Structure 1
Amino acid sequence: MSRRTRRLALVPVLAVSGVLSLGAAGSASAVSDQLWTYSDPYELVLPGAYEDGTVPERTVALKVSHDNPENVVGAGRITVDASGLGAFAKVTWPANCATETVDTAVCEVPELAGAEPVTAAVLKVGALPGVPDGAEGVLRYTAVAGDLTSYPGETRVVLGNGADLALSQAPRQEGVAPGSAITVPATLGNRGNRTAPGALLRLFASRGLGFAERPANCEYRDTETGTDALCVLDEPIAPGQSFTLDNPLKVGKNALYERYDYSVGSYSAEALEAARGGHVYTPGTGAELELVPAPALRTATATAESTGTATAPVPDLDPQDNYRSVIIHAANTADLKLRGSRVEGAVGATVRADVTVKNRGPAWIASLGAGEPAVTVDVRIPAGTTVTAKPDSCSALTETGDWVEEQLGAPRYRCASPIYLDERATHTFGFDLRIDRPGKTKATVSIDNDQYEPPIRSFDPDLTNNTATIVVNG
């Protein structure tokens, strides 16, 4: 990778600044609250001039937030220093900013009355003519609001020439009906200053969703959690061009909390092969997916020409806007049922006691966003027995639920299923119990109905079967 490519291959990093109270004499709010500043985007990639000579502008919004929503923080100000950009970029200040010099300004910050951040200033930034590719600098800012002062915040700005494919964020969808057809509307555009030779779309529909169409210029691979698709759009995309993507989907009878991912990169044969990752994909057979023009991102005429079929990947100026994900929540249920076990043996013998969770559907459940267990089970061990072996996915607890280091012989365990549980699927946690004394003993096992996000009680229609018993006869 070249030095230039390393500079431009930016990874979004949250650049925030934390609280600094105004000394021991500050008010109670400075003690109980924290002030934060950050920028959107977190790092700014600034294109140079278009090939017709016009210069695009980008915006960077400076945000201020605080931690305590119960505390009202009075209006304040944010001091912005853009001198680090002066050698290669021009900053246009908004109306709420009073300039001190051409590169510095103080901007008014509105009152912070709740948990939501406020926008302190939206700056327009454009490249100066004749500046070489790769120039970079830092925008610096510090906020004061009420009795709070933030540490200095920074936003890195780098200048580059190239294509910048971007996708818009589709809105979350709630309450869609199983068996229905939906679309995930999005826009694909080139926000850079050079033509992209084409686009490679990567789409993922989770298991409760299906692609309503399978165009011939897309190829598909089914996985345990959904369907992955790669679509080649081999038309050049000029700077400022924008296209609509409807993304038609079928909502399955098993849908519940679903996820649809879509991402884009410049197309090349090498990029397509890398995206396949050695897996076998099956081509679609429907009409080809075509680019449908949307309102242009700019009015200047694009003059760049396609150079033909690309064989090497073209770096994207700003990958921060190349990937999007949207949650699709279906109005559906999944009935979980927990089953314990009844075992017996002589004193001193070791028996296997199973705890099984079954998803009776109709929906599958999956934590595809957070990656948390689909189901968590609280397993209490019958008195008079000792755990001599346990599943790796179960952690030992004290009787009151505190974590303990020694994993065998505990009176209680917290067990985690995989992140998904298909409809009609089961998952079993097996414990080896040594019987230490004669007689009948039992303990309760239960699903944590508040654990899943959203909680299991929000989609499980029958919570009465989420509790069971382990019975041991010695």
Structure 2
Amino acid sequence: MRIPPHNRRASRTAVAALGAAGLIALGAAPAAFADEAAPDLVVGDIAPIEGVKPGSSLDQSVTVANKGTKAADKVWVSYSVTRGLGFADVPANCAAHQVPSYDEMTAKSNVVCEFDQAVEPGVGYAPEKPLAIKALDRALNDDLRVSVGDGEPELDEAATTPVAGTAPAVELMERQPGGEGTEQAVDVPVTTVNTADYEVTGAALKGDVGDTVTLKVRFANAGPAWVLTREGDPLIKVLVTPPAGTSVVKPHGFCEAKGKEYACGTSQRWVDEGGGETYTFKLKIDKKVAGAKGSVALSAGDRPFDPDKANDKADITLDVTGGGSGGSTGSTGSTGSTGGSDGSAGGSSAGDSGSSTTGGNLAATGSFPATLQIAGAAAAVAVVGTGTLLVVRHRRAQSPS
């Protein structure tokens, strides 16, 4: 089964123009169309799925029903999962494809099944064999979305080419009515018993009084699970406190001053295993303070997936080599961590749709400088800090998650 790529923007423009012409030509026809018999397909309710173990498979049964007044000649049932889940034994009447992450959307794996059979009004149906969904080693908090329609679903512009399944084809079988639901699509949280180790890495700085040094500290997810923060839950913050005797010349773009410390956010509401953020500051050494030491630490919060708290805080040390009041302004201190000078994150695997970090030129107030330029209509800057997300959206279609 082939699902052709589709340009939503172009099709919507064409439909709008055709619709306008149709209204002019038909006059009161829309009212007549409203009375015409039509299928109304819905998906059965699915309870949240909990207690899944990495590497295990769950056979998710799905029911569909037609609450309309006309039979649907053919139906398509679509499954979409976030990156901690995958599919096994995809039937031959189904096709799988992937959509990488973009804007604030997570990466998705999708399967679309075509059933070339009528779905009668008032009758419930279910695939004769449930679609197998597997929990990957990185599974923790994931989402499953199931939808049904009587037309072939459009393919996201960023999607890979669909690949037909190789397992035996399945059909829809009639089932006893009840529990069919009321919506065309349902979203189901899937919780896996797993852990993810959040950790921070400090830095060791060195310079003379008057020098401007570069501070880089790192926040990372050592895995094995990726972490998706659900809508409405608080986002992780990384608290950076510079050593005494220094002043911040330029903070990282994700960071906001909160008294003597800086609260730093993340580029997305998820952190892939092996991913994270590198925060880069420019500090001026104003004076020598004996034993001066700063810190980088994770904000307080309930993170039951992360039992290891020993690496939630690290030191930022400062060795002032001279006691004078002057000196050069180009010295760079040792950092003890990796990452680009623009604050870009490291550690995400290629093609893994991991958390990407965009270097910031935001001032301490959080506003963009007038010289910031954005190249290209598809460019985007995503900044999640203290609960704020700034995004230049691509014109693509994908279910939210």
Range into which the TM-score falls when normalised by the shorter chain: 0.5 to 0.7
Q: Report how far residue 212 of structure 1 moved.
A: 1.9
Q: Report how far residue 325 of structure 1 moved.
A: 0.9
Aligned equivalent of 1:350:
212
Point out which structure has higher relative CO (alpha carbons under 8 A, 6+ apart). 2
In the alignment, the residues of structure 2 paired with residue 350 and residue 434 of structure 1 have an alpha-carbon distance, to the nearest angstrom, of 4
Amino acid at match of 2:253: D
Q: Report how far residue 415 of structure 1 moved.
A: 2.6
**Secondary structure of 2:292 counterpart:** strand
Aligned equivalent of 2:157:
277
Aligned partners of 1:378 and 1:415 also within 8 Å: no
In the alignment, the residues of structure 1 paired with residue 166 and residue 186 of structure 2 have an alpha-carbon distance, to the nearest angstrom, of 26
Aligned equivalent of 1:234:
116
Question: Which residue of 386, 411, 419 maps to 2:247?
Answer: 386
Structure-2 change in CA distance of 1:398 and 1:332 (3 Å): same
Unaligned runs of 5+ in 2: 1-14, 21-30, 102-106, 321-401
Alpha-carbon deviations, 1:239-274, whole Å to 9, x = none? 123212533211122211111111222224xxx4x3
Indicate yes or no: 2:312 matched with 1:466: yes
In the alignment, the residues of structure 1 paired with residue 235 and residue 278 of structure 2 have an alpha-carbon distance, to the nearest angstrom, of 13
Structure-2 change in CA distance of 1:393 and 1:267 (3 Å): same
Amino acid at match of 2:240: V
Aligned equivalent of 2:142:
258
- Runs of 4+ displaced beyond 4 Å: 132-135, 371-374
Indicate yes or no: 2:89 matched with 1:243: no
Unaligned runs of 5+ in 1: 7-131, 136-158, 299-318, 400-410
Superposition RMSD in Å? 3.0
In the alignment, the residues of structure 2 paired with residue 374 and residue 221 of structure 1 have an alpha-carbon distance, to the nearest angstrom, of 30
Amino acid at match of 2:217: V
- Percent identity for Structure 1 against Structure 2: 29
Indicate yes or no: 2:62 matched with 1:186: yes
Residues 411-430 of structure 1 aligned to structure 2 (within 5 Å): 411-430=261-280
Amino acid at match of 1:251: A
Structure-2 change in CA distance of 1:429 and 1:292 (3 Å): farther
Amino acid at match of 2:284: R
Question: Which residue of 335, 341, 354 maps to 2:203?
Answer: 341
Amino acid at match of 1:347: V
Q: Report how far residue 339 of structure 1 moved.
A: 0.8
Aligned partners of 2:205 and 2:215 also within 8 Å: yes
In the alignment, the residues of structure 1 paired with residue 115 and residue 146 of structure 2 have an alpha-carbon distance, to the nearest angstrom, of 14
Aligned partners of 1:198 and 1:266 also within 8 Å: yes
Amino acid at match of 1:285: T
In the alignment, the residues of structure 2 paired with residue 428 and residue 472 of structure 1 have an alpha-carbon distance, to the nearest angstrom, of 19
Aligned equivalent of 2:281:
431
Aligned equivalent of 2:169:
288
Aligned partners of 1:201 and 1:262 also within 8 Å: yes
Amino acid at match of 1:196: A
Structure-2 change in CA distance of 1:160 and 1:396 (3 Å): farther
Aligned partners of 2:137 and 2:224 also within 8 Å: yes
Alpha-carbon deviations, 1:43-73, whole Å to 9, x = none? xxxxxxxxxxxxxxxxxxxxxxxxxxxxxxx
Q: Report how far residue 280 of structure 1 moved.
A: 2.9
Residues 13-412 of structure 1 aligned to structure 2 (within 5 Å): 161-222=37-98, 223-224=100-101, 225-245=107-127, 246-268=130-152, 272=153, 274-277=154-157, 279-283=159-163, 284-296=165-177, 321-367=183-229, 369-370=230-231, 375-399=236-260, 411-412=261-262
TM-score normalised by structure 2 residue count = 0.63
Aligned partners of 2:236 and 2:298 also within 8 Å: yes
In the alignment, the residues of structure 1 paired with residue 206 and residue 243 of structure 2 have an alpha-carbon distance, to the nearest angstrom, of 12
Aligned partners of 1:366 and 1:374 also within 8 Å: no
Amino acid at match of 1:375: I
**Secondary structure of 1:221 counterpart:** strand
Aligned equivalent of 1:448:
299
Q: Which has the higher strand share?
A: 1
Q: Report how far residue 419 of structure 1 moved.
A: 1.8
Q: Report how far residue 133 of structure 1 moved.
A: 5.5
**Secondary structure of 1:321 counterpart:** coil
Amino acid at match of 2:294: A
Q: In terms of Rg, which structure is larger?
A: 1
Count of residue correspondences: 284
Aligned partners of 2:214 and 2:282 also within 8 Å: yes
TM-score normalised by structure 1 residue count = 0.54
